[in-house]
């Protein structure tokens, strides 16, 4: 990693700012909480990322003020629960300890689901599932897709093993997009067949599904965990995630990105920053690798990178992939939703195993008295 754009501090400066010993500073480094680099002037000296130090200073201050920590925990704040599913660390994404970008080079969504969920037998996706009909054919557009998926997921489920239930839910999501039963065909091939995609596009869809499979505690995954904590079924927990994903500040961002790419002068560019990836979203870079971008999209990318240093998020990459291969409008959201279903199922199963209801408290703030305003 280049240190040109980083503010760095010596061990003495970093430990002093944190109010800790050097031994504690080195412990923070070993735990991945503070990045450490060789000094360009003296290879024997280590320098420490000021941004990481300041983040820890802020975190310690929050812990000293419990009310403040609690109030900000749900807004990109402190971790609110523990998970063994996904980790975002040093600008990289890991599924159960495996680099998601490396996994996406060859794995299918089914492979990613086995990894994320764990405990699924090798035959889980080789047995057909019951897909309730009739299906209306391919569904275009996020709203139609969500409505169709909710309808299919709301059908009464058969008594089945966990593996069979997981496979069935993933196939129901793919069936909602394709309008027919995917059978035991890999889900990326089913979607590609529905969209009459080329072999190159088919492989890009496969990579996208894996890269979208999970992203730690995103809004939709948190909605899934809250729902699963009540004892609701995996299907209903998936519906909760899908509905949350449809919002314009989550998966619905793909619609805003598409509108921007159609007319970059119309509005500020959405989707070119991600708070968890200050140096760029690795999912986007991996997805756009070797994708033949439209000339206009390539120009937009270059212009924004030059002007602001912004790099595309996965939402931008999905829409650019959709446009590059001539996929139906809305395919970006569908790929996002079908892929993320694997993570939702993993989160729902992990949450249910904890047998704990997620029920945070609210801090009451009295509303203004309208009569008081009138008289003042």
The pLDDT of 3-24, averaged and rounded, is 84
* Contact assessment for residue 162 and residue 235, using Cβ atoms and an 8 Å cutoff: no
**38 DSSP β-pair partners:** 46
- Model confidence at 268, pLDDT cuts 50, 70, 90, reads confident
At 375 the pLDDT is: 47
- pLDDT given at position 39: 85
d(CA 376, CA 374): 6
Query: How high is the pLDDT of residue 269?
Result: 83
Kindly report which listed range (105-109, 119-123, 325-329) carries the lowest average pLDDT score: 119-123
CB within 8 Å of 111: residues ≥ 6 apart:
103, 210
Q: Identify which of 140, 306, 107 has the alpha carbon closest to the alpha carbon of residue 209.
A: 107
Share of the chain above pLDDT 70, in %: 92
Structural tokens at position 101: 């970008």
pLDDT greater than 70 at residue 372 = no
Q: What are phi and psi of 179, to 5 degrees?
A: 80, 10
What pLDDT was estimated at residue 136?
A: 76
Confidence class of residue 376 from pLDDT cuts 50, 70 and 90? Answer: very low
Better-predicted residue by pLDDT, 308 or 98: 98
Segment 315-330 shows an average pLDDT of: 96
Which DSSP string corresponds to 210-273? HHTS--SS-HHHHHHHHHHHTT--HHHHHHHHHHHHTSTTTTTHHHHHHHHHH-TTSSPPPSS-
Question: What's the CA gap between 4 and 346, in Å, rounded?
Answer: 39
Among residues 205, 154, 155, 183, the alpha carbon closest in space to that of 337 is found at: 205
Q: Is the pLDDT of residue 61 over 80?
A: no
Q: Please state, in angstroms and rounded to a whole number, the distance separating the CA atoms of residues 201 and 322.
A: 9
Greater confidence (348 vs 75) lies with 348
pLDDT at 369: 57
Q: Considering only residues 361 and 333, tell me which one the structure prediction assigns the higher pLDDT.
A: 333
More confident residue, 187 or 305: 187
Strand pairing report for 8-9 and 46-49:
antiparallel
| Architecture label for domain 8-72 | Orthogonal Bundle (1.10)
Structural domain boundaries in the chain:
8-72, 86-354
Distances (CA, A) of 154 to 135, 148, 149, 210: 14, 10, 8, 25
Per-residue model confidence as pLDDT tens digits over 230-246 = 999 999 999 999 999 99
Q: What is the mean pLDDT of the chain?
A: 89
Enter the DSSP assignment of 179. S
The band of 346, judged by pLDDT with boundaries at 50, 70 and 90, is: very high
The residue behind tokens 């986007």 is: 284
Question: How large a percentage of the chain has pLDDT more than 90?
Answer: 58
**Confidence at residue 224, expressed as pLDDT on a 0 to 100 scale:** 98
Backbone angles phi, psi at 237, to 5 degrees: -65, -40
How many helices, marked H, and strands, marked E, lie in the chain?
18, 6
Is residue 68 scored above 70 in pLDDT?
no
What average pLDDT does the segment 81-105 reach?
95
Band of the pLDDT at 300, cuts 50, 70, 90?
very high
Lowest mean pLDDT among 79-93, 280-294, 338-352: 79-93
pLDDT in tens, 156-199: 877 888 999 999 999 999 999 988 899 999 999 999 999 999 99
Side-chain-side CA neighbours of residue 63 (13 Å): 9
In CATH, the number for domain 86-354 is: 1.10.580.10
């Amino acid at each position: 990693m280049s240190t040109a754009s980083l503010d760095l501090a010596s061990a003495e400066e970093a430990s002093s700012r944190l109010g800790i010993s050097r031994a504690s500073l080195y412990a923070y480094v070993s735990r991945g909480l503070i990045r450490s680099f060789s000094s360009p002037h003296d290879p024997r000296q280590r320098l420490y990322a000021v941004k990481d130090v300041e983040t820890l200073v802020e975190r310690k201050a929050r812990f000293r003020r419990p009310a403040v920590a609690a109030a900000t925990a749900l807004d990109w704040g402190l971790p609110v629960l523990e998970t063994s599913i996904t980790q975002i660390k040093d600008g990289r994404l890991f599924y159960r300890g495996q680099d998601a970008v490396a996994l996406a080079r060859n794995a299918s969504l089914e492979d990613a689901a086995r990894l994320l969920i764990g405990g699924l037998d090798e035959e889980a996706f080789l047995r057909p599932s019951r897909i309730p009909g009739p299906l209306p054919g391919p569904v275009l557009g996020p709203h139609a897709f969500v409505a169709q998926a909710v309808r299919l997921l709301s059908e009464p489920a058969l008594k089945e093993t966990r593996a069979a239930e997981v496979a069935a839910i993933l196939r129901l999501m793919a069936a909602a997009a394709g309008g027919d039963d995917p059978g035991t065909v890999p889900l990326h091939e089913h979607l590609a067949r529905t969209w009459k995609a080329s072999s190159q596009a088919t492989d890009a869809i496969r990579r996208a599904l894996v890269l979208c499979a999970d992203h730690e505690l995103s809004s939709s995954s948190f909605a899934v965990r809250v729902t699963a904590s009540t004892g609701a079924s995996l299907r209903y927990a998936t519906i909760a995630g899908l509905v949350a994903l449809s919002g314009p500040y989550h998966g619905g961002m793909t619609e805003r990105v598409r509108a921007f790419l159609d007319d970059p002068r119309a509005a500020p560019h959405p989707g070119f920053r991600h708070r968890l990836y200050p140096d760029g979203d690795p999912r986007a870079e991996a997805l756009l690798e070797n994708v033949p971008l439209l000339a206009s999209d390539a120009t937009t990318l270059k212009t924004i990178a030059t002007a602001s240093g912004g790099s595309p998020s996965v939402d931008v990459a999905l829409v650019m992939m959709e446009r590059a291969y001539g996929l139906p409008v809305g395919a970006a959201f569908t790929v996002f939703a079908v892929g993320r279903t694997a993570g939702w199922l993993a989160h729902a199963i992990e949450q249910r195993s904890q047998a704990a209801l997620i029920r945070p408290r609210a801090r009451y703030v009295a509303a203004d008295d309208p009569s008081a305003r009138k008289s003042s």
